[in-house]
Structure 1
Amino acid sequence: MLRARGALDKLVVDVQDFPTPGVVFKDITPVLADHAAFEAVVVALAQAGRDADGRPVVDKVVGMEARGFILAAPVALALGAGFVPVRKAGKLPRGAHAESFALEYGEATLELHHDAVAPGDRVLLVDDVLATGGTAAATRRLVETCGGIVTGLAVLMEIAFLEGRGLVSDLPCTALLTI
């Protein structure tokens, strides 16, 4: 995890006033472009889906649109688990559950295919940032609506002052970098 943290400290770029004035966007594209950094991040995030002996303990890894997809898919491969995308409203081609929530700079709705998670599936949620917690909490509700069991949340970074961990406080949460 230290290797991943060092890469994040060095490569994440702050972008002022994006997507709206007053927001400092954390651009992770330099991390993704650096093979060693990206690999370190995937390995560190995948640890959240392993037991103390290093064995995978999840059936599915759920990634939230859009940057969560980039991280969750290779984490799922590392764990030998399936990858499930949670999409913005209207992006899925078949029947889906929907959940609306507040963001740090607006509102959004996420959707998950009805059959994406089977009852009893153990699920790790993966995203790039834990901010207000709305995305993670909405995704958790979607997984639970399907009958899945959310075992944890793993994020690249947590913006602590927004107190998002409070919305998912009963879940084990792994943040590679807390700011």
Structure 2
Amino acid sequence: MDIERLKASVTTVSGYPRPGIEFRDITSLLLHPEALRECVLRMAAPYREQAIDKIVAIEARGFIFGAALAMELGCGLVLARKPGKLPRPTYKASYALEYGEDSLHIHTDAIAPDERLLVVDDLIATGGTVAAVASLIDKFGATLCGAAFAIALQDLPGLAMLRERGIATHYVLSFNGE
């Protein structure tokens, strides 16, 4: 499947969740097995030779791509979840929202210091959740090999912010965030 056909599988919803936003809805891509498979293969491509030990997938849509990438790369899967969702002790990292703050948590026994990790989410916009996960990975003393996304919103600050922090990024599809 060529990149334009893959890009066309993503639905744009104007004015959601508020006026002026062009929401890039990956659920339409998920409806088409060939589009999902192509997206996962393209996400995995740069990491096939990197000996990734675990994917760290960000709640919730990142779980979809994270699980598929873990299977494709033959590695483990770690879930970065919202507060109150993990049953054992966790490390926590907070990040800013437009109006407030939220946090992500990872089980304290999920990652070993010598492991090589790849952060995965469906979309990169502002980069706040990925930066929070990167700070969690630092707590474990593990190596962050990069961050992979199905979609990058080019006109939002996330990609530049991650690159400024030295986090290598890879994405399959590019849109403007509006």
TM (normalized to structure 2)? 0.89
Task: Output the CA distance in 2 between the equivalents of 1:4 and 1:148.
Answer: 36
Query: The residue matched to 2:114 in structure 1 has which SS?
Result: coil
Residues 130 and 165 of structure 1 are in contact (CA less than 8 Å); yes or no, is this contact kept in structure 2? yes
> Corresponding residue for 1:98?
92
Instruction: Pick one of 7, 13, 29 that aligns with 2:11.
Output: 13
1:66 equivalent in alignment to 2:60: yes
Give the letter aligned to residue 131 of structure 2.
A
1:10 is displaced (CA, Å) by: 1.0
> Corresponding residue for 2:81?
87
Task: Output the CA distance in 2 between the equivalents of 1:24 and 1:102.
Answer: 21
1:115-130 to 2 correspondence within 5 Å?
115-130=109-124
Give the letter aligned to residue 27 of structure 1.
D
> Corresponding residue for 1:107?
101
Change (3 A) 1:141 1:121: same
> Corresponding residue for 1:149?
143
What CA deviation, in whole Å up to 9, does each residue of 1:125-163 have, x standing for no partner? 111111011111111111221122110111011111112
1:106 is displaced (CA, Å) by: 5.6
1:26 equivalent in alignment to 2:24: yes
Residues 103 and 135 of structure 1 are in contact (CA less than 8 Å); yes or no, is this contact kept in structure 2? no
1:173 equivalent in alignment to 2:169: yes
Query: The residue matched to 2:3 in structure 1 has which SS?
Result: helix
Gaps of 5+ in 2: none
How many residues align structurally? 173
Gaps of 5+ in 1: none
Residues 16 and 24 of structure 1 are in contact (CA less than 8 Å); yes or no, is this contact kept in structure 2? yes
Change (3 A) 1:148 1:7: farther
1:105 is displaced (CA, Å) by: 6.9
1:74 is displaced (CA, Å) by: 0.9
Give the letter aligned to residue 79 of structure 2.
P
1:4 is displaced (CA, Å) by: 6.3
**Among the aligned pairs, what percent are the same residue?**
40
TM (normalized to structure 1)? 0.89
1:14 is displaced (CA, Å) by: 1.4
